[in-house]
Structure 1
Amino acid sequence: MDEPEKPKTRQLDARSLRGLAHPLRLELRRALRLHGPATASMLAERLGESSGATSYHLRQLAAHGFVTDAPERGKGRERWWRVVDDGISFDEGLVPDADPATRGALDVLMHEAVANHAREMTTFVATRHDWLPAWSSQSTDLSDYTLRLTPTEAAELIAKMHALIDSYRGREEPDATAVRIHTHAFPISTD
Protein backbone atom coordinates (compact mmCIF):
# COMPACT_ATOMS: atom_id res chain seq x y z
CA MET A 1 0.00 0.00 0.00
CA ASP A 2 1.29 3.47 -0.89
CA GLU A 3 2.08 5.77 1.98
CA PRO A 4 -0.40 8.67 2.22
CA GLU A 5 0.80 12.00 0.90
CA LYS A 6 1.88 14.39 3.65
CA PRO A 7 -0.35 17.45 3.91
CA LYS A 8 1.14 20.69 2.63
CA THR A 9 1.29 22.89 5.74
CA ARG A 10 2.03 26.62 5.53
CA GLN A 11 4.36 27.92 8.26
CA LEU A 12 3.21 31.41 9.26
CA ASP A 13 5.66 34.19 9.97
CA ALA A 14 4.69 37.55 11.49
CA ARG A 15 3.83 39.12 8.11
CA SER A 16 1.70 36.25 6.78
CA LEU A 17 0.01 35.88 10.18
CA ARG A 18 -1.08 39.53 10.10
CA GLY A 19 -2.31 39.03 6.51
CA LEU A 20 -4.46 36.06 7.50
CA ALA A 21 -5.75 37.08 10.93
CA HIS A 22 -9.10 38.61 10.04
CA PRO A 23 -12.35 36.76 10.81
CA LEU A 24 -13.67 36.94 7.23
CA ARG A 25 -10.34 35.91 5.70
CA LEU A 26 -10.17 32.92 8.01
CA GLU A 27 -13.77 32.01 7.11
CA LEU A 28 -13.07 32.36 3.36
CA ARG A 29 -10.01 30.13 3.61
CA ARG A 30 -11.98 27.59 5.66
CA ALA A 31 -14.84 27.57 3.13
CA LEU A 32 -12.44 27.01 0.23
CA ARG A 33 -10.73 24.17 2.13
CA LEU A 34 -14.01 22.44 2.97
CA HIS A 35 -15.97 23.03 -0.24
CA GLY A 36 -13.30 23.50 -2.91
CA PRO A 37 -12.84 26.28 -5.48
CA ALA A 38 -15.44 29.06 -5.62
CA THR A 39 -16.02 32.59 -6.85
CA ALA A 40 -16.29 35.64 -4.60
CA SER A 41 -20.04 35.73 -5.30
CA MET A 42 -20.50 32.10 -4.36
CA LEU A 43 -18.56 32.63 -1.14
CA ALA A 44 -20.52 35.81 -0.37
CA GLU A 45 -23.78 33.88 -0.65
CA ARG A 46 -22.49 30.97 1.44
CA LEU A 47 -21.14 33.25 4.20
CA GLY A 48 -23.85 35.92 4.16
CA GLU A 49 -21.42 38.67 3.13
CA SER A 50 -21.32 41.14 0.25
CA SER A 51 -19.43 40.06 -2.85
CA GLY A 52 -17.41 43.29 -2.56
CA ALA A 53 -16.18 42.24 0.90
CA THR A 54 -15.39 38.68 -0.13
CA SER A 55 -13.63 39.87 -3.29
CA TYR A 56 -11.47 42.35 -1.34
CA HIS A 57 -10.49 39.79 1.31
CA LEU A 58 -9.77 37.10 -1.30
CA ARG A 59 -7.35 39.51 -3.00
CA GLN A 60 -5.69 40.13 0.39
CA LEU A 61 -5.40 36.38 0.96
CA ALA A 62 -3.88 36.03 -2.52
CA ALA A 63 -1.37 38.81 -1.82
CA HIS A 64 -0.15 36.78 1.17
CA GLY A 65 -0.11 33.47 -0.77
CA PHE A 66 -3.05 31.73 0.95
CA VAL A 67 -5.31 31.47 -2.11
CA THR A 68 -4.74 31.56 -5.83
CA ASP A 69 -6.74 31.64 -9.05
CA ALA A 70 -8.33 28.41 -10.23
CA PRO A 71 -8.44 29.33 -13.97
CA GLU A 72 -9.49 25.83 -15.02
CA ARG A 73 -12.87 26.54 -13.36
CA GLY A 74 -13.56 30.03 -14.71
CA LYS A 75 -15.54 31.03 -17.77
CA GLY A 76 -15.18 34.50 -19.22
CA ARG A 77 -14.71 37.12 -16.52
CA GLU A 78 -15.63 34.73 -13.73
CA ARG A 79 -12.74 34.48 -11.25
CA TRP A 80 -12.48 31.26 -9.27
CA TRP A 81 -10.31 30.88 -6.19
CA ARG A 82 -8.75 27.87 -4.49
CA VAL A 83 -6.78 27.46 -1.28
CA VAL A 84 -3.04 26.84 -1.66
CA ASP A 85 -2.19 24.73 1.42
CA ASP A 86 -3.73 21.90 3.45
CA GLY A 87 -3.18 23.59 6.79
CA ILE A 88 -1.26 26.22 8.70
CA SER A 89 1.08 26.30 11.66
CA PHE A 90 2.98 29.14 13.22
CA ASP A 91 6.55 29.66 14.24
CA GLU A 92 6.94 29.30 18.02
CA GLY A 93 8.83 32.60 17.98
CA LEU A 94 5.51 34.36 17.33
CA VAL A 95 4.12 33.43 20.78
CA PRO A 96 6.42 35.72 22.79
CA ASP A 97 6.65 38.35 20.01
CA ALA A 98 6.85 41.84 21.50
CA ASP A 99 5.04 43.46 18.56
CA PRO A 100 1.43 44.17 19.64
CA ALA A 101 0.17 43.73 16.05
CA THR A 102 1.69 40.25 15.86
CA ARG A 103 0.38 39.26 19.30
CA GLY A 104 -3.08 40.59 18.38
CA ALA A 105 -3.06 38.71 15.07
CA LEU A 106 -2.12 35.46 16.83
CA ASP A 107 -4.93 36.04 19.34
CA VAL A 108 -7.43 36.54 16.49
CA LEU A 109 -6.21 33.37 14.75
CA MET A 110 -6.45 31.25 17.89
CA HIS A 111 -9.81 32.64 19.06
CA GLU A 112 -11.33 32.12 15.60
CA ALA A 113 -10.06 28.52 15.51
CA VAL A 114 -11.60 27.78 18.91
CA ALA A 115 -14.88 29.47 17.94
CA ASN A 116 -15.00 27.49 14.69
CA HIS A 117 -14.40 24.21 16.49
CA ALA A 118 -17.22 25.03 18.91
CA ARG A 119 -19.57 25.91 16.00
CA GLU A 120 -18.78 22.66 14.19
CA MET A 121 -19.33 20.55 17.31
CA THR A 122 -22.54 22.39 18.20
CA THR A 123 -23.85 21.91 14.66
CA PHE A 124 -23.11 18.20 14.83
CA VAL A 125 -24.85 17.84 18.20
CA ALA A 126 -27.90 19.70 16.86
CA THR A 127 -28.08 17.52 13.73
CA ARG A 128 -26.82 14.18 15.08
CA HIS A 129 -30.19 12.47 14.58
CA ASP A 130 -29.94 13.17 10.84
CA TRP A 131 -26.82 10.97 10.71
CA LEU A 132 -28.26 7.93 12.49
CA PRO A 133 -28.04 4.96 12.37
CA ALA A 134 -24.75 4.77 10.43
CA TRP A 135 -23.05 7.47 12.50
CA SER A 136 -23.81 6.20 16.00
CA SER A 137 -21.86 6.81 19.20
CA GLN A 138 -19.41 4.14 17.99
CA SER A 139 -18.34 6.25 14.98
CA THR A 140 -18.43 9.72 16.54
CA ASP A 141 -16.54 11.06 19.52
CA LEU A 142 -16.82 14.02 21.88
CA SER A 143 -14.40 12.74 24.51
CA ASP A 144 -12.00 14.59 26.74
CA TYR A 145 -9.12 13.31 28.84
CA THR A 146 -6.85 14.76 31.49
CA LEU A 147 -3.32 13.36 31.55
CA ARG A 148 -0.28 14.40 33.56
CA LEU A 149 2.43 15.10 30.97
CA THR A 150 5.63 17.07 30.62
CA PRO A 151 5.84 19.51 27.68
CA THR A 152 8.07 16.95 25.90
CA GLU A 153 5.54 14.16 26.43
CA ALA A 154 2.70 16.41 25.22
CA ALA A 155 4.68 17.20 22.04
CA GLU A 156 5.28 13.46 21.52
CA LEU A 157 1.57 12.65 21.98
CA ILE A 158 0.55 15.39 19.54
CA ALA A 159 3.03 14.14 16.91
CA LYS A 160 1.69 10.58 17.26
CA MET A 161 -1.94 11.73 16.96
CA HIS A 162 -1.10 13.75 13.84
CA ALA A 163 0.75 10.78 12.30
CA LEU A 164 -2.24 8.51 12.97
CA ILE A 165 -4.63 11.03 11.39
CA ASP A 166 -2.32 11.46 8.39
CA SER A 167 -2.37 7.66 7.86
CA TYR A 168 -6.07 7.96 6.97
CA ARG A 169 -5.58 10.67 4.31
CA GLY A 170 -6.27 9.90 0.67
CA ARG A 171 -8.67 7.03 1.25
CA GLU A 172 -11.57 7.03 -1.18
CA GLU A 173 -14.10 4.47 0.06
CA PRO A 174 -17.42 4.67 -1.85
CA ASP A 175 -19.51 5.29 1.28
CA ALA A 176 -17.05 7.72 2.93
CA THR A 177 -18.09 11.19 4.03
CA ALA A 178 -16.06 14.17 5.22
CA VAL A 179 -15.23 13.82 8.92
CA ARG A 180 -13.80 16.67 11.00
CA ILE A 181 -11.18 15.74 13.57
CA HIS A 182 -10.42 18.30 16.28
CA THR A 183 -7.50 17.82 18.61
CA HIS A 184 -6.83 20.08 21.55
CA ALA A 185 -3.94 19.66 23.97
CA PHE A 186 -3.25 22.37 26.53
CA PRO A 187 -2.24 22.64 30.17
CA ILE A 188 -4.83 23.36 32.86
CA SER A 189 -4.50 24.46 36.44
CA THR A 190 -5.55 21.77 38.90
CA ASP A 191 -5.36 24.01 41.98
Structure 2
Amino acid sequence: MPEPEPQERQIRHLDARSLRGLAHPLRMQLLDSLRFSGPATASQLAERLGESSGATSYHLRQLAAYGFVEDAPEHGKGRERWWRTSHEGLYFDEALFTDSNPAVRGALDMVMHEVATKHAQQVYTWLGNRHTWPEEWVQGSDMSDMTLRLTPRLANELIEKMHALVDSYRDLPEAADAPDAERVRIHTHTFPISTD
Protein backbone atom coordinates (compact mmCIF):
# COMPACT_ATOMS: atom_id res chain seq x y z
CA MET A 1 0.00 0.00 0.00
CA PRO A 2 1.25 3.51 -0.72
CA GLU A 3 2.23 5.74 2.19
CA PRO A 4 -0.51 8.25 3.08
CA GLU A 5 0.25 11.79 2.03
CA PRO A 6 1.29 13.96 5.00
CA GLN A 7 -1.48 16.38 5.94
CA GLU A 8 -0.70 20.02 5.44
CA ARG A 9 -0.30 21.88 8.72
CA GLN A 10 -2.97 24.42 9.50
CA ILE A 11 -1.12 27.72 9.90
CA ARG A 12 -3.00 30.90 10.83
CA HIS A 13 -1.91 33.95 8.85
CA LEU A 14 -2.05 37.03 11.05
CA ASP A 15 -3.21 40.29 9.54
CA ALA A 16 -3.79 43.60 11.35
CA ARG A 17 -7.30 42.65 12.52
CA SER A 18 -6.45 39.17 13.82
CA LEU A 19 -3.25 40.45 15.42
CA ARG A 20 -5.26 42.88 17.55
CA GLY A 21 -7.48 39.98 18.61
CA LEU A 22 -4.46 38.00 19.80
CA ALA A 23 -2.50 40.84 21.42
CA HIS A 24 -3.21 40.11 25.09
CA PRO A 25 -0.88 38.10 27.37
CA LEU A 26 -3.65 35.83 28.71
CA ARG A 27 -5.00 35.13 25.22
CA MET A 28 -1.54 34.07 24.09
CA GLN A 29 -1.16 31.84 27.16
CA LEU A 30 -4.56 30.26 26.52
CA LEU A 31 -3.69 29.60 22.89
CA ASP A 32 -0.31 28.10 23.83
CA SER A 33 -1.89 25.90 26.49
CA LEU A 34 -4.48 24.55 24.04
CA ARG A 35 -1.85 24.00 21.35
CA PHE A 36 0.54 22.08 23.60
CA SER A 37 -1.80 20.35 26.06
CA GLY A 38 -4.88 19.79 23.92
CA PRO A 39 -8.56 20.68 24.36
CA ALA A 40 -9.73 21.98 27.74
CA THR A 41 -12.53 23.84 29.47
CA ALA A 42 -12.26 27.43 30.69
CA SER A 43 -12.12 26.10 34.28
CA GLN A 44 -9.30 23.68 33.49
CA LEU A 45 -7.37 26.44 31.75
CA ALA A 46 -7.98 28.81 34.68
CA GLU A 47 -6.53 26.26 37.09
CA ARG A 48 -3.58 25.52 34.77
CA LEU A 49 -2.74 29.20 34.31
CA GLY A 50 -3.61 30.51 37.79
CA GLU A 51 -6.42 32.73 36.49
CA SER A 52 -10.14 33.05 37.26
CA SER A 53 -12.52 31.01 35.11
CA GLY A 54 -14.37 34.26 34.33
CA ALA A 55 -11.21 35.72 32.80
CA THR A 56 -10.40 32.58 30.83
CA SER A 57 -14.02 32.30 29.59
CA TYR A 58 -14.02 35.90 28.40
CA HIS A 59 -10.69 35.66 26.60
CA LEU A 60 -11.58 32.28 25.04
CA ARG A 61 -14.71 33.89 23.57
CA GLN A 62 -12.55 36.72 22.22
CA LEU A 63 -10.12 34.22 20.69
CA ALA A 64 -13.09 32.41 19.14
CA ALA A 65 -14.45 35.67 17.69
CA TYR A 66 -11.13 36.12 15.87
CA GLY A 67 -10.97 32.48 14.75
CA PHE A 68 -8.09 31.30 16.95
CA VAL A 69 -10.08 28.71 18.95
CA GLU A 70 -13.25 26.72 18.41
CA ASP A 71 -15.59 24.41 20.27
CA ALA A 72 -14.44 20.83 20.83
CA PRO A 73 -17.87 19.21 21.34
CA GLU A 74 -16.51 15.66 21.21
CA HIS A 75 -14.92 16.28 24.63
CA GLY A 76 -17.87 17.87 26.42
CA LYS A 77 -20.42 16.34 28.73
CA GLY A 78 -23.70 18.13 29.38
CA ARG A 79 -23.22 21.89 29.57
CA GLU A 80 -19.43 21.70 29.77
CA ARG A 81 -17.83 23.75 26.96
CA TRP A 82 -14.51 22.46 25.68
CA TRP A 83 -12.16 24.49 23.49
CA ARG A 84 -9.42 23.58 21.00
CA THR A 85 -7.16 25.58 18.72
CA SER A 86 -8.20 26.18 15.14
CA HIS A 87 -4.62 25.92 13.82
CA GLU A 88 -1.17 24.51 14.61
CA GLY A 89 0.91 27.66 14.26
CA LEU A 90 1.01 31.36 13.42
CA TYR A 91 2.47 33.19 10.44
CA PHE A 92 2.95 36.96 10.56
CA ASP A 93 1.91 38.77 7.39
CA GLU A 94 4.92 40.76 6.14
CA ALA A 95 2.80 43.92 5.93
CA LEU A 96 2.49 43.94 9.74
CA PHE A 97 6.16 44.83 10.13
CA THR A 98 5.83 47.99 8.02
CA ASP A 99 2.31 49.05 9.02
CA SER A 100 2.20 52.77 9.87
CA ASN A 101 -0.77 52.41 12.26
CA PRO A 102 0.50 52.85 15.87
CA ALA A 103 -2.17 50.41 17.15
CA VAL A 104 -0.93 47.69 14.79
CA ARG A 105 2.72 48.38 15.69
CA GLY A 106 1.84 48.25 19.40
CA ALA A 107 -0.04 44.97 19.01
CA LEU A 108 2.83 43.47 17.00
CA ASP A 109 5.38 44.58 19.62
CA MET A 110 3.27 43.09 22.42
CA VAL A 111 2.88 39.74 20.63
CA MET A 112 6.55 39.53 19.67
CA HIS A 113 7.66 40.34 23.24
CA GLU A 114 5.31 37.68 24.63
CA VAL A 115 6.76 35.13 22.19
CA ALA A 116 10.32 36.04 23.22
CA THR A 117 9.38 35.82 26.91
CA LYS A 118 7.79 32.39 26.36
CA HIS A 119 10.93 31.17 24.58
CA ALA A 120 13.12 32.36 27.45
CA GLN A 121 10.82 30.70 30.03
CA GLN A 122 10.99 27.40 28.16
CA VAL A 123 14.80 27.52 28.11
CA TYR A 124 14.94 28.39 31.83
CA THR A 125 12.57 25.51 32.61
CA TRP A 126 14.77 23.10 30.65
CA LEU A 127 17.91 24.31 32.43
CA GLY A 128 16.25 23.94 35.81
CA ASN A 129 14.90 20.46 35.08
CA ARG A 130 17.45 18.85 32.76
CA HIS A 131 18.89 16.83 35.67
CA THR A 132 15.57 14.94 35.79
CA TRP A 133 15.91 13.76 32.16
CA PRO A 134 17.87 10.71 30.95
CA GLU A 135 21.45 11.38 29.83
CA GLU A 136 20.44 10.73 26.20
CA TRP A 137 18.13 13.74 26.32
CA VAL A 138 20.76 15.93 27.96
CA GLN A 139 23.08 14.98 25.08
CA GLY A 140 20.21 15.53 22.62
CA SER A 141 19.69 19.14 23.66
CA ASP A 142 21.43 22.24 22.35
CA MET A 143 21.95 25.88 23.27
CA SER A 144 24.08 27.42 20.58
CA ASP A 145 24.59 30.87 19.20
CA MET A 146 26.46 31.72 16.03
CA THR A 147 27.29 35.00 14.38
CA LEU A 148 27.48 35.30 10.60
CA ARG A 149 27.91 38.20 8.21
CA LEU A 150 24.92 38.11 5.84
CA THR A 151 22.82 40.30 3.60
CA PRO A 152 19.05 40.46 4.22
CA ARG A 153 18.55 38.15 1.22
CA LEU A 154 20.99 35.58 2.61
CA ALA A 155 19.40 35.82 6.07
CA ASN A 156 16.00 35.04 4.52
CA GLU A 157 17.50 32.14 2.59
CA LEU A 158 19.02 30.75 5.81
CA ILE A 159 15.68 31.07 7.64
CA GLU A 160 13.85 29.23 4.85
CA LYS A 161 16.43 26.42 4.87
CA MET A 162 16.27 26.09 8.68
CA HIS A 163 12.48 25.89 8.59
CA ALA A 164 12.58 23.32 5.78
CA LEU A 165 15.06 21.22 7.74
CA VAL A 166 12.88 21.29 10.87
CA ASP A 167 9.79 20.44 8.80
CA SER A 168 11.62 17.42 7.33
CA TYR A 169 11.68 15.95 10.88
CA ARG A 170 7.96 16.52 11.47
CA ASP A 171 5.84 13.38 11.89
CA LEU A 172 8.61 10.90 11.10
CA PRO A 173 7.37 7.28 11.32
CA GLU A 174 10.48 6.38 13.35
CA ALA A 175 9.39 8.68 16.18
CA ALA A 176 5.65 7.96 16.06
CA ASP A 177 5.66 4.91 18.35
CA ALA A 178 9.21 5.00 19.73
CA PRO A 179 9.18 4.59 23.52
CA ASP A 180 11.92 7.19 23.95
CA ALA A 181 10.31 9.81 21.68
CA GLU A 182 9.31 13.11 23.32
CA ARG A 183 7.95 16.42 22.10
CA VAL A 184 10.89 18.72 21.37
CA ARG A 185 10.83 22.53 21.24
CA ILE A 186 13.01 24.22 18.65
CA HIS A 187 13.49 27.97 18.79
CA THR A 188 15.14 29.94 16.03
CA HIS A 189 16.07 33.59 16.24
CA THR A 190 17.75 35.40 13.37
CA PHE A 191 18.35 39.13 13.70
CA PRO A 192 21.06 41.73 12.98
CA ILE A 193 23.24 43.05 15.78
CA SER A 194 25.20 46.26 16.10
CA THR A 195 28.96 45.89 16.09
CA ASP A 196 29.52 48.99 18.23
Provide TM-score, normalisation by structure 2.
0.93
Alignment of 1:34-53 (within 5 A): 34-53=36-55
Separation of aligned partners in 1, 2:112 and 2:54 = 26
Does 114-123 or 82-91 show the bigger shift?
82-91
Separation of aligned partners in 2, 1:20 and 1:60 = 9
Match of 1:30 among 8, 32, 38: 32
Q: One-letter code of the match for 1:154? A: A
Separation of aligned partners in 2, 1:73 and 1:85 = 18
Task: State whether structure 2 residue 18 is matched by structure 1 residue 13.
Answer: no
Task: State whether structure 2 residue 73 is matched by structure 1 residue 71.
Answer: yes
Give the secondary-structure state (helix, strand or coil) at the position aligned to 2:13: strand
Match of 1:134 among 136, 145, 153: 136
Does 53-62 or 160-169 show the bigger shift?
160-169
Separation of aligned partners in 2, 1:45 and 1:72 = 22
Structure scoring higher RCO (CA < 8 A, sep ≥ 6) equals 1
Q: One-letter code of the match for 1:79? A: R
Report the alpha carbon displacement of residue 92 of structure 1 after superposing the two structures with TM: 1.4
Partner of 1:55: 57
Give the secondary-structure state (helix, strand or coil) at the position aligned to 1:10: strand
Match of 1:182 among 165, 171, 187: 187
Give runs of ≥4 in structure 1 deviating > 2 Å: 1-7
Alignment RMSD (CA, Å): 1.2
Report the alpha carbon displacement of residue 6 of structure 1 after superposing the two structures with TM: 3.5
More helix by share: 2
Partner of 2:160: 159
Would the alpha carbon gap of residues 127 and 5 (structure 1) be closer, same or farther in structure 2, given more than 3 Å must change? same
Separation of aligned partners in 2, 1:9 and 1:93 = 17
Give the secondary-structure state (helix, strand or coil) at the position aligned to 1:72: helix
Would the alpha carbon gap of residues 5 and 158 (structure 1) be closer, same or farther in structure 2, given more than 3 Å must change? farther
Q: One-letter code of the match for 2:162? A: M
Report the alpha carbon displacement of residue 76 of structure 1 after superposing the two structures with TM: 0.4
Instruction: Give unmatched runs, 5+ long, in structure 2.
Output: none
Match of 2:122 among 100, 103, 120: 120
Report the alpha carbon displacement of residue 4 of structure 1 after superposing the two structures with TM: 4.1
Alignment of 1:71-150 (within 5 A): 71-137=73-139, 139-150=140-151
Q: Contact 1:4–1:166 (CA<8 Å) still a contact in 2?
A: no
Q: Percent identity?
A: 64
How many residues get paired?
A: 190
Report the alpha carbon displacement of residue 115 of structure 1 after superposing the two structures with TM: 0.2
Provide TM-score, normalisation by structure 1.
0.96
Separation of aligned partners in 2, 1:6 and 1:183 = 21
